[in-house]
Structure 1
Amino acid sequence: MSLAWLDEIQWTPDGLVPAIAQDYRSGQVLMMAWMNRESLALSVAEGRAIYWSRSRGKLWRKGEASGHVQKLHGMRLDCDSDVILLQVEQLGGIACHTGREHCFYKALRDGQWQPVEPVIKDPDSIYG
């Protein structure tokens, strides 16, 4: 398969594009991460979400440490061609490293960010 579709993406100057992972059934936004050309091409080839870890400076196969893999069901590109939407099946039901279903668990309440989603599994038991 040709990888010409990668050329249509408006990459940041450092070669990245933001990617939003969304549950393909419910539409729940699970998380946001960064992808580069290699991680995006590998995601399509392997049928799972693979991101670029800016902090580690390497590919990050979602679930490689936790087992919480994101199976890829579809992919969309926004109107400006600068954001990817990954439609995924979140295996294990946990997308966030805090042990929650998704990363957007804080809501602004009375001028403060308050956790409003429960921890499903203690992160220490996931990552050791």
Structure 2
Amino acid sequence: MSRKRITILTVVSLFLIVYVCYGFWIAKDVKSILTVGMQPDSSYEKYMSDQAYNRLNPLRNHMTASSYTYKPEDHSVGPVFLFHFFFVAKSSTKQSFEFHDASPTFGGTEVVKMTTKLKHGRWYATKVYIAA
């Protein structure tokens, strides 16, 4: 192979490796955002906008009217599929949850689509759309 071809393949390979690694970082933060969004009375401001928290939180989106306790074992987040351009990302995932200590018990599985942007070294949710 020519030197030019090796250089091009090396640059493309490095770009793909960085892109995929960056994607894993975004996916980890998306899961953290979903966890914070499900917690009642959390300090969510550094993770997401008011709109995002109002859509994610069961008390704020009127899924329940009573208080509940967040337990990690009652909440699971599936694989995160995303498209990103290094400072902005669109993601889609499925989350399942069930809370027994609220009256009445509530839960379900929903598809969550989220727009995030890089803000102060962490991913910040700006918009959330939930499809049941």
Query: Shorter chain as normaliser: what TM range?
Result: under 0.3
Q: Which one has the bigger helix percentage?
A: 2
In our comparison, the structure showing a higher alpha carbon Rg is 2
